[in-house]
Chain A
Amino acid sequence: MINIYESVSANKRKSAVIIVFFIIFVALAIYFISQAFAVYLGYQPGGLGIVGLSLIISGLMSLVGYYYSDKIVLTISGARPASRNRDFEFYTVAENLSIASGLPKPKLYVIADSAPNAFATGRDPEHAVICATTGLLQKLDRTELEGVIGHELSHIKNYDSRLMSVVAVLVGTVALLGDWLIRIRWFGGRNDSDREGNQLGAIMLIVGIIFAILSPIVAQLIQLAISRRREFLADTGSVALTRQPSGLISALEKISRDTEPLEAANKATAHLYIINPFKGKTKSAVSTFSNLFNTHPPVEERIKALRQMA
């Protein structure tokens, strides 16, 4: 039995710890890789210029996604705007929960797909979008729908799509830098004679290459860990709004039991949904390992966490 206030602050704390860990790791990786660049190119501050360049490229790639995420996702998924008459439950539940959370009502869209699922996107609460499939609206009752919409509204309230795009920029930066360092070796860089007698330089180079190979993967794993922690946070946020864990629990059960694949989803939009649209094919022995590569925590664990609040 965990009090809802404690649960929210515990989740925020854990999430902050992972994010701090991520930032430290990215800083270290960038430092070592740029030091290795410096050794190669033969002048000390050289690394920073390259870091800046990779940050700009990675940033530009994500910026478009960040500003137009709502429009892009909606176009890909082929959604239509929800209307009060046609989707009474969806519309009013979203309206009610935005009152409770003190946020402006997000734009609401419906995807014609019989697999039950929902997602939220948009860079801040003013540009937020919540999208639900027709399957979700048909299969869930009002209490369950409140749980799901509460979860999506908590994502919006916590600025999760902003956080995840900043994280993506940093992961992209590290990956670009690592890639460049490995490629530049084939172009030769400086003569071997210049590096002679410089032991520190040699060590830096080796450490830098190790980081260049490993850090893109590690950074991605931490990125996924952040994503999973934000899902837990959104679950508790939903309960904080509705005060009815039972609604979200039975909604999660219903959605996860449904075996129909979501046609509108693809790899790029998968992390946005309330439950991973590519449902787990792996079970038991391999699952703890494969969980490392998932954007969402396993449904059983989410339900267990929610039960503790019930």
Chain B
Amino acid sequence: MILTWILVIALIVVVFWVFSTYNFFVGSKARIKAAVQEIGNQLKRQSDLIPNLEASTKGYLKHETGIFSKLTEVRKSVESAIKSQDVQKMADAGSKVASLLPDIKVIMESNPEIKGSEVVVKLMDELRDTSDKIMYARRLVIDLTADYNVKRVSIQSSFIANLLKFDEITGLITPQEGEHVEVKAEETKTPKISL
């Protein structure tokens, strides 16, 4: 009699464990998908801000045409990335925009009349904020995929993952080799700053 009760309770515990593990995997997948959409959402906002910045600075910057053609190019890649809903494309487009920001900043700094303009300062704040948002949205994708992938190979839950065929999720890809993982001799030296 007692043995049956123990068996019944054990069975209930196991069933609950299976359900909760299954729910974790399914829920994680949904959350990762939502997080990827959030990246797209923020990229959209960023690419909408760029034309505003262009419009408000164009008067001052007749000679800086190079940056405007670059901006338009980046905007196009952002839009196509959002359409494709592909994580990797979105990440690439995001880093393209991020790489433009220092250039824009240099131009701002070297043109005092622009730097003083309140509209431009506001737009730069918004741009900075949006690139932060993209960074944090990417972090959420990274964290969620890490949790998912760790659980997938951990000892109890890997059983469920294998049984129900939950595959590894790649998340954001960073190349494992190439220039960016090597450190050159001159990069290890402390930079000298002359004031």
Is there an interface contact between B125 and A95, defined as CB atoms closer than 8 Å? no
Is there an interface contact between A99 and B140, defined as CB atoms closer than 8 Å? yes
- The distance in angstroms between the C-alpha atoms of A104 and B58, with both chains bound, is 38
Is there an interface contact between B144 and A95, defined as CB atoms closer than 8 Å? no
Task: Enumerate chain A residues within 8 angstroms of B31, measured Cβ to Cβ.
Answer: 102
Is there an interface contact between B140 and A100, defined as CB atoms closer than 8 Å? yes
Is there an interface contact between A100 and B136, defined as CB atoms closer than 8 Å? yes
In the complex, chain B residues 93-147 whose Cβ is within 8 Å of any chain A Cβ: 125, 129, 132-133, 136-137, 139-140, 143-144
Q: Interface residues of B: mostly helix, strand, loop or mixed? A: helix
- Known interface pairs A88-B125, A92-B129, A95-B133; A100-B144 also in contact (CB < 8 Å): no
**A146 closest partner in B (C-beta):** B132
**A92 closest partner in B (C-beta):** B129
Task: Enumerate chain B residues within 8 angstroms of A92, measured Cβ to Cβ.
Answer: 129, 132
What is the distance, in angstroms, from B13's C-beta to the closest C-beta of chain A? 19
Q: Is the interface on chain B under 10, 10 to 19, 20 to 34, or 35 or more residues?
A: 10 to 19
Task: Enumerate chain B residues within 8 angstroms of A96, measured Cβ to Cβ.
Answer: 129, 132-133, 136
**B146 closest partner in A (C-beta):** A5
The reply on A174 being an interface residue by CB < 8 A is no
The reply on B38 being an interface residue by CB < 8 A is yes
The reply on A222 being an interface residue by CB < 8 A is no
- The distance in angstroms between the C-alpha atoms of A148 and B34, with both chains bound, is 26
Task: Enumerate chain B residues within 8 angstroms of A102, measured Cβ to Cβ.
Answer: 31, 35, 140, 144
In the complex, chain B residues 29-61 whose Cβ is within 8 Å of any chain A Cβ: 31, 35, 38, 42
The interface centre, meaning the residue of B38, B136, B144 with most chain A CB atoms within 10 A of its CB, is B136
Task: Enumerate chain A residues within 8 angstroms of B144, measured Cβ to Cβ.
Answer: 102
- The distance in angstroms between the C-alpha atoms of A99 and B42, with both chains bound, is 11
In the complex, chain A residues 87-106 whose Cβ is within 8 Å of any chain B Cβ: 88, 92, 95-97, 99-102
Is there an interface contact between A99 and B137, defined as CB atoms closer than 8 Å? yes
- The distance in angstroms between the C-alpha atoms of A102 and B39, with both chains bound, is 12
What is the distance, in angstroms, from A147's C-beta to the closest C-beta of chain B? 14
- The distance in angstroms between the C-alpha atoms of A92 and B126, with both chains bound, is 9
- The distance in angstroms between the C-alpha atoms of A96 and B136, with both chains bound, is 6
Is there an interface contact between A100 and B129, defined as CB atoms closer than 8 Å? no
Task: Enumerate chain A residues within 8 angstroms of B38, measured Cβ to Cβ.
Answer: 99
The interface centre, meaning the residue of A97, A99, A243 with most chain B CB atoms within 10 A of its CB, is A99
Contact string, A238-267, partner B, CB cutoff 8 A, digits 1/0?
A: 000101000000000000000000000000
- Known interface pairs A88-B125, A102-B144; A97-B136 also in contact (CB < 8 Å): yes
**A240 closest partner in B (C-beta):** B143
Task: Enumerate chain A residues within 8 angstroms of B139, measured Cβ to Cβ.
Answer: 100, 241, 243
Task: Enumerate chain A residues within 8 angstroms of B42, measured Cβ to Cβ.
Answer: 99
- The distance in angstroms between the C-alpha atoms of A88 and B129, with both chains bound, is 10
Task: Enumerate chain A residues within 8 angstroms of B137, measured Cβ to Cβ.
Answer: 99-100
In the complex, chain B residues 143-167 whose Cβ is within 8 Å of any chain A Cβ: 143-144
Task: Enumerate chain A residues within 8 angstroms of B132, measured Cβ to Cβ.
Answer: 92, 96
What is the distance, in angstroms, from B97's C-beta to the closest C-beta of chain A? 16
B residues engaging A (CB < 8 A)?
31, 35, 38, 42, 125, 129, 132-133, 136-137, 139-140, 143-144
16 A-B residue pairings within 8 Å (CB atoms): A88-B125, A92-B132, A95-B133, A96-B132, A99-B38, A99-B133, A99-B136, A100-B136, A100-B137, A100-B139, A100-B140, A100-B143, A101-B140, A102-B35, A102-B140, A102-B144
Closest 4 A-B residue pairs measured CB to CB? A100-B136, A92-B129, A99-B136, A96-B136
Could you list 17 further interchain pairs (A-B, Cβ under 8 angstroms) beyond the known A100-B137, A101-B140? A92-B129, A92-B132, A95-B133, A96-B129, A96-B133, A96-B136, A97-B136, A99-B42, A99-B133, A99-B137, A99-B140, A100-B136, A100-B143, A102-B31, A102-B140, A102-B144, A241-B139
